[in-house]
Amino acid sequence: MRQLHAEWTKLRTLPSTWWLLAATVALTAAVGAAAVSSLTTRICPSPTACHEDTVKLALTGVQLSQAICLVLGALSIGAEYATGTIRTTLTAMPGRWRVLASKAATLSLLTAVAGALAVLSSLGLAHLILPTTPTNSATLRAAAGSILILVLVTLLGLSLATLLRDTAGAITLGLGILYVVPVLSHLVNSPTWQHRFQRWAPMPAGLSIQATTNLERLAIGPWPGLGVLAAYAVGLLGVGGAWFRLRDA
């Protein structure tokens, strides 16, 4: 419990934490609103034949705010390495697994709250702009899944920074996973490789949770897709924790 309190104090007293969380909420909602208002029925033969996935469109902002969450996660331990606070932390709390676990817990909680705000405001704005936005179990799944994406990406940032002990490196690598792999998964010409990327790379797979229509066209189902992302995040956190335990600070 003390560890949790210590980590919470560290996170709470950094102004950058609050800036990043505020940016997560604001940018998710702004990008989502922009994407939704870009929707026209002009490109469809008739409005009813327009099969746009409006829920997914409203949650487009997650693809931007995941970068902010990655930065938040990476900074929470990377900054300690950069300034040397990590040595004070480990002197005060020698249980390294506990340190990492309490960091992960406080970060997850904060990101989940910010993510919930972001997702709710995106969907609320979408509802104002497009009155026909459906509210059903698929929408609920997409909304909950988007919050989980943000939490998992934060953990990904934390684990990469624990592994590399360096913020810049962790962020570069994390952005590669979040953005470059999805680009390649679209542009690779071979359908087999496209399918492999969409099934097994953390990012295109994780985003499949946002789909509410045409589920049969997804390369991987919504929950299994999120599971792939979770497996990467938790797996890397495990590896990061093991390294953290074995190495000197």
Partner 1 sequence: MTTTPTRTVPPYRSVLHPARAGFVHLLRAEWTKFWTVRAWLLVLAVAAVVTVVICQLGASGSSVSGGPPIVLGPGGEVVNDAFRLTHRTLTGDGTVTARVTGLKDASGKGLGPWTKAGIIVKSSLKPGSPYAAVMATPGHGVRMQWNFTHDKAGPSSDLTKAPQWLRLKRLGEKLTGYASVDGQNWTRLGEVRLDGLPGTVQVGLFVAAPVHEIVHRSFGGTSEVAGSGQATGTFDHLTFQGKSTDNGWTATDVGAPAPDARPGNSRPGTTTVSPTGTYALTGQGDIAPDENSPDMVQMSFQGVFMGLLFMVALGTLFVTTEYKRGLIRTTFTATPSRLKVLAAKTTVIATITFTTGLIATAIGFTLAQRTLRSNGFKPPEFPDLSLLENPALRAVVGSAVLLSLVAVLALSLGVVLRNSAGTIATVVVLVILPQILSFALPLPVAQWLLRATPAAAFAIQQGVTYYPQVQHNCLPESGCYPLTPYHGLAVLVAYTAAALLLAAWTVRRRDA
Q: List interacting residues with partner 1 (CB under 8 A).
A: 35, 38-40, 43-45, 49-53, 56-57, 60, 63-64, 67-68, 70-71, 74-75, 78, 82, 167-169, 171-172, 175-176, 179-180, 182-184, 186-190, 192-193, 211, 213-214, 217-218
Minimum Å gap between C-beta 94 and partner 1 is 28
Q: Of the two residues 92 and 180, which places its CB atom closer to partner 1 in the complex?
A: 180
For CA atoms 162, 234, 71, 193, the dihedral sign is positive
Please name which of 211, 188, 214 lies closest in space to residue 201, comparing C-alpha atoms. Answer: 188
Nearer to partner 1, 218 or 230 (CB): 218
Query: Which residue lies nearer to partner 1 by CB, 171 or 228?
Result: 171
DSSP classification of residue 176: I
CB of 183 to partner 1, least distance (A): 5
Q: How far is the CB of 138 from partner 1 (least distance, A)?
A: 13
Shortest distance, CB of residue 189 to partner 1, whole angstroms?
A: 4
DSSP 61: T
Q: How far is CA 249 from the centre of its chain?
A: 27
User: Are the C-beta atoms of residues 50 and 214 closer than 8 Å to each other?
Assistant: no
Among residues 69 and 96, whose Cβ is nearest to partner 1? Answer: 69
> Do the Cβ atoms of 139 and 219 come closer than 8 Å?
no
DSSP state of 178: I
As measured in angstroms, the least distance from the Cβ of 68 to partner 1 is 7
Torsion-angle region of residue 84: left (phi > 0), alpha (psi -120 to 50) or beta?
left
Nearer to partner 1, 13 or 192 (CB): 192
Residue with tokens 């999120």: 226
Answer yes or no: are the C-beta atoms of 185 and 201 closer than 8 Å: yes
